[in-house]
A and B are shown apart, each in its own frame.
Chain A
Amino acid sequence: MLNRQGRPTQSGESAAESHPTFTGNRALQQIEPLIFEIGHHETTGVDIDPPAPFKSRLGAHARKGEIGLPGLSEPEAMRHYVRLSQKNYGIDTGLFPLGSCTMKHNARLNEKMARLPGFSDVHPLQPVSTVPGALDVMLQLSHYLMTLTAMPAVALSPKAGAHGEACGMMAIKAAIAAKGEGASRNVVLVPESAHGTNPATAALIGFSVRSVPARADGTVAVEDVKALLGPDIAAIMLTNPNTCGIFEPQIVEIAAAMHEAGAYFYCDGANFNAIVGKARPGDLGVDAMHINLHKTFSTPHGGGGPGSGPVVLSARLAPYAPVPFIHLDGDAPRLVEHKGDAPQGNAPFGRITAFHGQMGMYVRALTYMLSHGSDGMKQASEDAVLNANYIRAGLQDLMSLPYPDHPSMHEALFDDEWLKGTGVTTLDFAKAMIDEGYHPMTVYFPLVVHGAMLVEPTESESKASLDLFIATLRDLAMAAKGNDKARFTGAPHHAPIRRLDETRAARQPVLKWVAPRPISEAAE
């Protein structure tokens, strides 16, 4: 039987299930051992001639024992890592609706540009006179970021979003200290619905954290913020659009309240991709905001990183931006590498990473910005928002919305109210999506929503792709409501591997390969 997309609706158990293979492989689904199980200590996939005899100057420090690492020849290594790649899902594989993570098309032009030797093969400490093009990339990227945010300054060096949060909060701490309030103003407000990185960052920088309650409609109310304000409040860390996918309607009032109380407004810019070209954080009263280049400007995330998290700063915080930074003496860019070299009026709070930040990511982000232009970036935001709302509209009769009163921005948030009584959990539902060929949405986040499911399609998806996704989720939702529980509780059935025991991994941590043993016993 075919459904409306022309796909069979009955998966059933395949005939092959009753005929286990000798290898444990299932055709292209192959079991791949670890390199430690297939490599040898004497094997190497790199040809390099030994040096002619020479007098070592290692002294007593020469390594005596074995390292204990195997090598693979080049063909073995190629096959091993290609096979591993085949056990992964990426945005090029299919729709990757991870809300709050933003998985959009990774243009290969960005990769090609980042690999130009003039960018990739340049040392951070080679003479500044030999890298004018690198400084130009940093200047241009800064210009784009400042224009898109209406902020007068940017610190480029943070190496990821959370590192950017730390950088912004350090600038706030430095500004407070400069006003002589360092000892008394030490509390940061963080909404319950915030990313865990926000309270963790505030604590890292030596602040204590006070929670702002979430309203029933998923937003933060200015009265709740005002009730918490006092001379001890240093800042609020607020995500906007927030983690429920809603633009905080009272953001301007909240910013004004913070400023009136002598405090600062840190905006978590993780969801900036929803408003690029539509609204500017500087116009809303933001003092500092990090921008995840990998999310908003599509640098690939490679299984978890690297990221890049430049921070835009208001005029009040700009003087405290960390070194290194580029200062324009007229038209001439100067790289300021030390606090002591800072131009008049600047008081950098320090250094947060060894070198100049994620140049490779700057190149990719700038390439993306040049490609889109101001018109394309605005259109991308609008399409991301439209796509999210289209998914919401296509599912809201079957799945429940915790916050129906606000439009969704770039991501649509569902809860598990609609699964009540089915015996199917949010996690089961997510795992069943894997069997249908989709990466699950973000589940159980934000924490303030029970059984949360946060869907972010991004602007990269076509209408046809969204229609198929909606149809699949509708089929699954109907199955869940129709007592087809086995489809969910054992899922995934068709992934390279079945449901993994995460509790066991945490209770008996095995964090590295230890002793030679046959693969067949490795699971015992």
Chain B
Amino acid sequence: MRYLPLTDTDRLDMLARVGVPDIDALFSDVPADKLLKAPLDLPRTKGELEVERIMGRMAARNVAASSVPFFVGAGAYKHHVPATVDHLIQRSEFLTSYTPYQPEIAQGTLQYLFEFQTQVAALTGMEVANASMYDGSTGTAEAVLMAHRVTRRRKAVLSGGLHPHYADVVRTLSEMASDDVVSLPADVAANEDILAQIDDETSCVVVQNPDVFGNLRDLAPIAEKAHAHGALLIAVFTEVMSLGAITAPGEMGADIVVGEGQSIGNALNFGGPYVGLFAAKSKYIRQMPGRLCGETVDSEGQRGFVLTLSTREQHIRRDKATSNICTNSGLCCLAFTIHMTLLGQAGLERVAQVNHANAVKLADLLAGVKGASVLNESFFNEFTVKLAKPAADIVEALARKGILGGVPVSRLLPGAGLDDLLIVANTEVNTDEDRAAFVAALAEVLSC
């Protein structure tokens, strides 16, 4: 086996040095009848070439986003990532390092975490950010728990525009902890009366912007009502690129901002790994979940960075910790940080504009398709189309024509009576040709 450096001679020498007759003597604490006598029924070791063939064959059976006109979003987005990003994150010293428990030889990791935290705070318009969560959905659930700790209340109100999977994740955890959740029904047109749900029992209101149907929302009145009742506003986004074009949630009064950072620096990866962004007002830092990197000095007065405020964490606080999370998405937030650094605010604003312009172009084209209409008043790079036929059938028909045409709402919310709705995303990767092909194919399958 090419990854194992010991030779059989080494093994014999080492067993002698350890003072045991054979390797199983070191497994003597395993009950004898539980020690496996024969190799398990799995294939034997394979060379690199053979493994490449096997994995390559499986990969080839999937339709890659970049190989077709591609309009799928609803929580994960196809963007262009500069070649520099993947090159840099594959640097051995980044790729093969662990959590920076020894800061003197982990300044590379710690400094990029500090840069990441600063970037996320600026993007969201918040005072502090942590060093990332698993993804946007788990981050949202953690934000709800944090709001419960801050307010000492246990009722969360979830907007009907929140991504249904995110709402599911919050509900799963809340059910386990016997917390209250009020989930509003799916809100296609962003006209729900969420204010009516806020009362003195409410810990937090969770609102997504742009929402899962693509609508842009004004969070300020929700923040105002929440604060009047001692509740927190948790603002969620699934498309971080939108923050280059729209008002930051912090400017609209959010107390905690959480979302998915996959769009910047990270591939689609069939759902993971992604990177959860988590920011808050600084008065809440001791209630935040996850890892935090802080600035300090070394014994010679030179600036350096360390993991800090670990008294919130489970290795010290055990069952009283703010969260059971003991990792972050290190490499994914490095990818985010590098891509964000390459973009800068000028590049981010530009690419966000192109996203929006492309989506507007597509919406205009769809207006001319018989049997399709765009429901949104305002949107960023994603919107909802009402179709004359079930969206799931249309998407399958489009796929057979080599076009991946969006996410049927029925896939996210089966049985909600929204089978004629399709969520369509359009980013900087889509060309005029892609849009023309999509619109022509859609017109065709709708007319059949």
Q: What chain B residues lie within 8 Å of A361 (beta carbons)?
A: 272-273
Interface set, chain A 50-75, CB cutoff 8 A to B: 50-52, 54-72, 74
A367 within 8 A of B: yes
**Residue in B54, B84, B305 whose CB lies within 8 Å of A370:** B54
**Residue in B102, B293, B378 whose CB lies within 8 Å of A439:** B102
A393 and B1 contact, Cβ closer than 8 Å, known pairs A63-B248, A306-B134: no
Interface string of A89-117 (1 = CB under 8 A from B): 11111001010010101110101110111
Interface set, chain B 12-70, CB cutoff 8 A to A: 13-15, 17-20, 23, 25-31, 34-36, 39-46, 48, 50-52, 54-67, 70
Q: What chain A residues lie within 8 Å of B15 (beta carbons)?
A: 386
A69 and B119 contact, Cβ closer than 8 Å, known pairs A162-B326, A304-B109, A372-B45: yes
A130 and B177 contact, Cβ closer than 8 Å, known pairs A58-B380, A354-B165, A490-B299: no
CA of A71 to CA of B1, assembled, Å: 46
CA of A374 to CA of B273, assembled, Å: 27
Q: What chain B residues lie within 8 Å of A56 (beta carbons)?
A: 356, 360
Interface string of B411-427 (1 = CB under 8 A from A): 11011000000000000
B185 within 8 A of A: no
Output the least CB separation between A470 and chain B (Å): 10
Interface string of A484-524 (1 = CB under 8 A from B): 00000010100111111110111001111100000100110
B331 within 8 A of A: yes
Tell which of A208, A341, A366 has the most Cβ of chain B within 10 Å: A366
Please determine whether B342 and A123 come into contact, CB atoms closer than 8 angstroms: no
Interface string of B349-377 (1 = CB under 8 A from A): 11101101111110100000000000011
Output the least CB separation between A185 and chain B (Å): 14
B197 within 8 A of A: no
Please determine whether B294 and A510 come into contact, CB atoms closer than 8 angstroms: yes
Please determine whether A48 and B107 come into contact, CB atoms closer than 8 angstroms: no
Q: What chain B residues lie within 8 Å of A366 (beta carbons)?
A: 55
Please determine whether B296 and A305 come into contact, CB atoms closer than 8 angstroms: no
**Residue in B72, B243, B246 whose CB lies within 8 Å of A123:** B72
A57 and B379 contact, Cβ closer than 8 Å, known pairs A35-B341, A373-B44: yes
Q: What chain A residues lie within 8 Å of B36 (beta carbons)?
A: 277-280, 378
Output the least CB separation between A206 and chain B (Å): 4
B247 within 8 A of A: yes
A502 and B111 contact, Cβ closer than 8 Å, known pairs A196-B316, A350-B172, A372-B1: no
Interface set, chain B 368-399, CB cutoff 8 A to A: 376-380, 395-396, 399
A300 and B346 contact, Cβ closer than 8 Å, known pairs A69-B122, A92-B96, A130-B62: no
CA of A85 to CA of B40, assembled, Å: 40
CA of A119 to CA of B56, assembled, Å: 9
Please determine whether A349 and B27 come into contact, CB atoms closer than 8 angstroms: no
Q: What chain A residues lie within 8 Å of B319 (beta carbons)?
A: 199-200, 202-203, 208-209
Q: What chain A residues lie within 8 Å of B309 (beta carbons)?
A: 506, 509
A315 within 8 A of B: no
CA of A351 to CA of B361, assembled, Å: 36
B166 within 8 A of A: yes
Output the least CB separation between A411 and chain B (Å): 12
Q: What chain B residues lie within 8 Å of A387 (beta carbons)?
A: 6, 14
Output the least CB separation between A505 and chain B (Å): 4
Please determine whether B107 and A510 come into contact, CB atoms closer than 8 angstroms: no
CA of A485 to CA of B282, assembled, Å: 41
Please determine whether A301 and B294 come into contact, CB atoms closer than 8 angstroms: no
- The stretch among B74-82, B199-207, B438-446 that forms the contact with chain A is B74-82
- The stretch among A6-14, A222-230, A247-255, A259-267 that forms the contact with chain B is A247-255
A371 and B272 contact, Cβ closer than 8 Å, known pairs A62-B245, A206-B178, A354-B166: no
A373 and B42 contact, Cβ closer than 8 Å, known pairs A58-B380, A209-B319, A354-B169: yes
Please determine whether B106 and A89 come into contact, CB atoms closer than 8 angstroms: yes
A376 within 8 A of B: yes
Tell which of A162, A376, A505 has the most Cβ of chain B within 10 Å: A505
Interface set, chain B 257-287, CB cutoff 8 A to A: 260, 267-273, 282, 285
Q: What chain B residues lie within 8 Å of A353 (beta carbons)?
A: 134-135, 137-138, 165, 169, 272
**Residue in B338, B354, B379 whose CB lies within 8 Å of A48:** B354
**Residue in A92, A124, A389 whose CB lies within 8 Å of B92:** A92
B196 within 8 A of A: no
A418 within 8 A of B: no
Q: What chain B residues lie within 8 Å of A132 (beta carbons)?
A: 61-62
Please determine whether B246 and A61 come into contact, CB atoms closer than 8 angstroms: yes
Interface set, chain A 319-369, CB cutoff 8 A to B: 322, 337-338, 340-341, 349-361, 363, 366-367, 369
CA of A40 to CA of B243, assembled, Å: 19
Beta-carbon nearest neighbor of A301 in chain B: B98
Interface set, chain A 393-450, CB cutoff 8 A to B: 393-394, 406-409, 430-431, 434, 439-440, 442, 445
A316 within 8 A of B: no
CA of A133 to CA of B37, assembled, Å: 34
Please determine whether A303 and B171 come into contact, CB atoms closer than 8 angstroms: no
Please determine whether A118 and B62 come into contact, CB atoms closer than 8 angstroms: yes
CA of A431 to CA of B118, assembled, Å: 29
Q: What chain A residues lie within 8 Å of B331 (beta carbons)?
A: 300-303, 305-306
CA of A122 to CA of B121, assembled, Å: 30
Please determine whether A459 and B123 come into contact, CB atoms closer than 8 angstroms: no
Beta-carbon nearest neighbor of A433 in chain B: B102
Beta-carbon nearest neighbor of A108 in chain B: B90
Please determine whether B67 and A74 come into contact, CB atoms closer than 8 angstroms: no
CA of A61 to CA of B118, assembled, Å: 24
A474 within 8 A of B: no
Please determine whether B330 and A303 come into contact, CB atoms closer than 8 angstroms: yes
Q: What chain B residues lie within 8 Å of A465 (beta carbons)?
A: 5
Please determine whether A252 and B34 come into contact, CB atoms closer than 8 angstroms: yes
Q: What chain A residues lie within 8 Å of B193 (beta carbons)?
A: none
CA of A133 to CA of B282, assembled, Å: 45
CA of A69 to CA of B348, assembled, Å: 9
Q: What chain B residues lie within 8 Å of A66 (beta carbons)?
A: 345
Interface string of A34-50 (1 = CB under 8 A from B): 11100111111110111
Interface string of A5-42 (1 = CB under 8 A from B): 00000000000000000001000000110111001111
CA of A512 to CA of B280, assembled, Å: 13
**Residue in A39, A248, A370 whose CB lies within 8 Å of B51:** A370
Output the least CB separation between B213 and chain A (Å): 14
B295 within 8 A of A: yes
Please determine whether B332 and A126 come into contact, CB atoms closer than 8 angstroms: no
CA of A126 to CA of B423, assembled, Å: 12
Output the least CB separation between A150 and chain B (Å): 9
Please determine whether B315 and A196 come into contact, CB atoms closer than 8 angstroms: yes
B447 within 8 A of A: no
B317 within 8 A of A: yes
CA of A359 to CA of B55, assembled, Å: 13
CA of A123 to CA of B118, assembled, Å: 29
Please determine whether A500 and B173 come into contact, CB atoms closer than 8 angstroms: no
Q: Write 12 A-B pairs (CB below 8 A) sorted by A numbering.
A: A70-B341, A90-B97, A206-B176, A305-B132, A305-B332, A380-B1, A383-B4, A389-B20, A459-B6, A497-B302, A511-B114, A511-B308
Return the 3 tightest CB-CB contacts between A and B, nearest first: A71-B344, A302-B331, A355-B271
Q: What 14 additional pairs, Cβ within 8 angstroms, besides A118-B64, A123-B78?
A: A51-B353, A69-B344, A82-B88, A88-B108, A92-B92, A112-B52, A127-B404, A196-B315, A303-B334, A370-B54, A375-B45, A389-B26, A500-B304, A501-B298
